[in-house]
Amino acid sequence: MLKIGGINLLGVLLAAVAMFFVGYLFYGLLFSEQWMAARGYTLAMFEASPPSPLWMLGGFIIELVIALGLGILMAKRGVSGLAGAVKFTVLIALLIGFPILGYDFVYGYYHDLTGLLVDWGHMFVSFGVAGAILSFFD
């Protein structure tokens, strides 16, 4: 399979797809009501003005960049094996991702802890899943 800088691109692609799916589970199925309420959204808002599918494409591109970044960091640190990869990527979520998401909570308009916890949960799970997938493409 095609590699760039020792990073298997199939692994990156599959990790990005899995992260996108975790986002669907969190924001589309499991916690959509809680997250929308935390952000002040209603279903009527989405029905009146449905978002463009291009936003979903943009979201997937973000997942691709994150998966590539995790793969690069794992390779640079010599992370291997399922347990090691999940521990490493979850640590990245905790030490970098959580604080970044915290900016919106602190400085944004909505200071709803429920929304932040949904976002943190999504990041924690999606980074862990990406690490697990990437571990199979050393």
Give pLDDT tens digits for 80-117. Answer: 999 999 999 999 999 999 999 999 899 988 889 999 99
Q: By C-alpha distance, which of 4, 2, 14, 3 is closest to 136?
A: 14
Instruction: Mention every residue, 6+ apart, whose C-beta is less than 8 A from residue 135.
Output: 74, 79, 80, 81, 82, 84, 85, 86
Query: 59 pLDDT exceeds 80?
Result: yes
Q: By C-alpha distance, which of 61, 37, 38, 41 is closest to 50?
A: 41
Share of the chain above pLDDT 90, in %: 77
d(CA 102, CA 2): 36
pLDDT-based confidence at residue 52 (cuts at 50, 70, 90): confident
Alpha helix (H) residue ranges in 5-52: 9-23, 32-39, 43-48
Residue type, 76: K
Query: 138 pLDDT exceeds 80?
Result: no
Query: What is the reported pTM?
Result: 0.91
d(CA 44, CA 25): 21
Mean pLDDT calculated for residue range 56-77? 95
Mean pLDDT value across the chain? 93
